Structure 1
Amino acid sequence: MPGAPPEQWWPPVAMTARWLSENAAEFDVLHVHFGLESFTADELRDGLDAAARAGRPVVFTVHDLDNPQIVDQDPYRALLDVIVPAADRLITLTPSAAAEIERRWGRPSVVLAHPTLLDEAADPGRVTDGETVRVGIHLRDLRPNIDAENAVRAAVHAARLLERSGPAVEIEVLLNENVRDDRTADRVVAAADGHAAVRVRRTPYLTDAEIEQWLGGLDLFVLPYRHGTHSGWVELCYDLGVRVAGTDVGHIRSQHPSDFRVVDLDDPRTVAAAVTWARDDSPSADEVVASRRAQRRDQRRAVRDAHARLYRDVIAGVQA
């Protein structure tokens, strides 16, 4: 948004009826990804009606069937009930999400995997010592779908279990300095309980490069979600050859099933088992990253081509 501070979220004006009407000559397709929660159902309907009056097709990529930014999902589901039936084409990231969309709204979706999040010029290095299993959890700014306290308690209990029987482990929990709930942040720090293998570290907002560097030093990344649909973290971990353990919510496990292990934060044994799995029978990190880099480069081209074809088809369909 022009004039907004760096990294500041701003409601997308391109979804408003006024902007769409005034700028119809400037675009051919309205492709919606995120930001629905910034509007009421009536405002969203007005925007879609404005696009239709202008003869501009709407493509909606259904990243989120549950919104990670909010607790009460009913208003968000009401927004989906507006846009999913109205969009000219739907895209989603996984076959299982497409099946849910078909079941709920009776509409097919084009399934296009999320392409790599790494810059083509980046050189993602991996730094692990080969003995201690390094585990990371990023609680970000404590957005509503992150089960922060439970994640840290599970990490502490898992570390204790592994002391008796398992590999040496170091678990680093990152937490933004600026959070949505300072009291919860204090409880998260206290939940580490002074265990030597579990460290909570407060940080400023990390850049993409800083996140990639941190993830590249891990063997396992833990995703402690209460609800959600898909995850960019899973995509980035796949690029970097880092295995993921996460709660079984949405369709996250469908993104890269071979690199994803389901855990139950109420059962620390599952977290301890995931730590052991993160190193069992795994090829060298460098081999994995090199192989995936070529695969993801090809995939990115394929996804771009698929979008171009879809845009051409949907424009032709509206103009027919």
Structure 2
Amino acid sequence: MDEDERPPAVGRRVELVESPVVATSGGIFDALQGPANLEHRPPGPLGDRADGASPVRIAAVPAAHPYVRSVLPPGHVLLDDPPVPGAPAGRWWPPQVLTPDWLRGAAGGYDLVHVHFGTESLGPGRLEATLGVVRELGVPLVHTVHDLEHPHLDDQAHHRRQLDALVEHADELLTLTDAAAATILRRYGRAATVVPHPRMAPDAWFARADALRRPARSGRDGGPVVGVHLRGLRANVRPGAWIVELADATAARGGRLRLVVNDEVTPGGAAHDALEDLRSQLHGLPVDHVVRPRPDDDGLAAELAGLDVSVLPYAHGTHSGWLELCWDLGTPVLAPAVGAIGDQHREPSALCTFDPARPGTVAAALDRLLDAPPPPPAAARLAARRRTTEQNHRAHAAAYARALGRA
């Protein structure tokens, strides 16, 4: 998905644990380095279902991620991520479920394999060989297409080969938007079930964000605060020339642009070079440059709730977990028309997209967003998310049943 923390990609030097979807802390911010969901429901023990049948045992990649746990339907259990030899406790990549030895050794202890993301840490040819073993064992395979384009990579060739193999071998395909499903159908001739992105924020933050927003806006001098979170400037966080137009458009509304970056971006790397180039483009414009450590969950939510608009700085990608967190918090989002992001939410008060290659479109989109009615109140947003959770559980249960029926 858009913002998952991912494992180190093949051929890419990565420092720190800025990889898989859930860094060991498991917080929103860490998870938002990739697809994520804060509705953190740990897998329960094996037990009988309400209907007396045995639970369906799912070997998921990765089982530890909150998104994966959130969409788990009742009557199904997730197996823990197998430990990675030589890796620290809690690290799940490279995913051991996707190795022939694990698949053969654990045969009979799982009913199906569900791959979400994290395969980029497997070298060329390894995933394809593993999928051959899955087929040899007669194990059903489900794949959720989070990323048609990998957000952490500039070169998409390795990711595309892996996606081709997963789509070819999967008994059931799921994805997060109608737009992504249409691309899958056009590219591969296969239909994917659409399962909307789950919530990101815990219950308490829906109302807390609204409570924070009111005094922040009433005590503000001047116009809107428009925020661009660059985080660690991963591969797809590269705002183009439109960032200058955005600063001008924000100033024209009497507001200021706020550019936020993690203090982990230090001299000597491509991320720092990109940051310096961005700062030079914005020199002399009314922009607040904020450098700070990664916030904890409460700090991140408070930052977003204090904005009038959050802007996604993406050059490529497919879906955005950041957008979903903003929706939970009631913060409108402005985004370049990248991937299927524009299909995640259709409400004018939630999301407005622009064409990053066409001058004038970002200013017009900002005006439309600022002039739209306010987002629904917290209670309505929370109720909508709970309906989505139920919808996702039903869709996943049905997909698993179809896959098992073909085995």
State the TM-score, normalizing by the size of structure 2: 0.70
Contact 2:313 2:336 in 1 (8 A): yes
Contact 1:117 1:235 in 2 (8 A): yes
1:238 alignment partner in structure 2:
327
| Aligned partner of 2:276 among 155, 162, 186 | 186
2:146 alignment partner in structure 1:
63
1:137 alignment partner in structure 2:
228
Contact 2:352 2:369 in 1 (8 A): no
- CA deviation after TM superposition for structure 1 residue 241, in Å: 1.7
Change (3 A) 1:124 1:20: farther
Change (3 A) 1:290 1:170: farther
Listed as ranges, the matches of 1:47-126 within 5 Å are 47-122=130-205, 123-126=207-210
- CA deviation after TM superposition for structure 1 residue 308, in Å: 2.0
1:227 alignment partner in structure 2:
316
Q: List gaps (5 residues or longer) in structure 2.
A: 1-82
What SS does structure 1 have at the residue aligned with 2:363?
helix
1:312 alignment partner in structure 2:
401
Say how many residue pairs are matched: 309
Contact 1:132 1:168 in 2 (8 A): yes
- CA deviation after TM superposition for structure 1 residue 5, in Å: 7.7
- CA deviation after TM superposition for structure 1 residue 249, in Å: 1.3
- CA deviation after TM superposition for structure 1 residue 65, in Å: 0.6
Deviation sequence 1:193-226 (CA, Å, 0-9, x none): 143x311212222333322221111121111211
- CA deviation after TM superposition for structure 1 residue 183, in Å: 2.1
Listed as ranges, the matches of 1:1-320 within 5 Å are 3-4=87-88, 10-122=93-205, 123-126=207-210, 127=213, 128-129=216-217, 132-148=223-239, 150=241, 152-160=243-251, 162=252, 167-179=253-265, 181=270, 182-195=272-285, 197-258=286-347, 259-265=350-356, 269-283=360-374, 287-318=376-407
Change (3 A) 1:103 1:266: closer
Question: How large is the RMSD of aligned CA atoms in angstroms?
Answer: 2.4
Contact 2:351 2:369 in 1 (8 A): no
What SS does structure 1 have at the residue aligned with 2:126?
helix
Write the distance in 2 (CA, Å) between the matches of 1:296 and 1:249: 24
What SS does structure 1 have at the residue aligned with 2:298?
helix
* Higher alpha-carbon deviation: 37-46 or 272-281: 272-281
Contact 2:153 2:236 in 1 (8 A): yes
- CA deviation after TM superposition for structure 1 residue 317, in Å: 2.0
Q: List gaps (5 residues or longer) in structure 1.
A: none
* Higher alpha-carbon deviation: 45-54 or 248-257: 45-54
Contact 2:352 2:366 in 1 (8 A): no
More helix by proportion, 1 or 2?
A: 1
Amino acid at match of 1:191: Q
State the TM-score, normalizing by the size of structure 1: 0.87
Amino acid at match of 1:106: G
Change (3 A) 1:120 1:20: farther
Write the distance in 1 (CA, Å) between the matches of 2:360 and 2:106: 56
Write the distance in 2 (CA, Å) between the matches of 1:5 and 1:157: 48
Contact 1:135 1:275 in 2 (8 A): no
- CA deviation after TM superposition for structure 1 residue 155, in Å: 3.3
* Higher alpha-carbon deviation: 263-272 or 113-122: 263-272
Change (3 A) 1:159 1:281: closer
Change (3 A) 1:248 1:281: closer
- CA deviation after TM superposition for structure 1 residue 60, in Å: 0.5
Contact 1:224 1:246 in 2 (8 A): yes
Amino acid at match of 2:319: H
